[in-house]
Amino acid sequence: MDDLVASGEEIGAQVAAYLDGELVVDAWAGTADAATGTPVAGDTLFHSYSTGKGMAATVVAWLVDRGLLEYEAPVARYWPEFGVSGKERTTVGHVLSHTAGLPYVRPDLSPEELFDTSAMVAWLADRNPYGSRAL
């Protein structure tokens, strides 16, 4: 990671990996905030953006394989609060293929707001899909 930062490709990076519940990799390098020069530390928070998509798709496939979830089922079967505001027929498959019309999360949210799971779940459930409008 030091080489990656030194190359200029990244200003800061962090990685942690667990094996059987034990932390086996815990590394960081570089700068967390270029404006202040604050270095990356072991507890620095980063936006992960799309890095969780592959993991989420793998977990969903695992659940489908075990008969616990269906790709063509409405999301509301598993999350009833989601089935409002024009999303009643949105399927698990739509969500996985990014065709559900779900909105982006507002860029002005603080880390505390982003990590408030209850608030984020409620916000997403209440949204209208893009390309639709409430009547």
Q: Number of helices (H) and strands (E) in the chain: give both, helices first.
A: 6, 3
Give the active site residues: 50
For 28, the token pair is 């960081």
Q: Which helix (H) or strand (E) holds 114?
A: helix 111-114
The 3 state secondary structure assigned to 38-76 is EECCCCCCCCCHHHHHHHHHHHHHHHHHCCCCCCCCEHH
State in Å, rounded, how far the first CA of the chain is from the last one.
Answer: 52
* Residue bearing tokens 């034990």: 22
Q: Which of 66, 134, 126, 124 is nearest to 95 (CA)?
A: 124
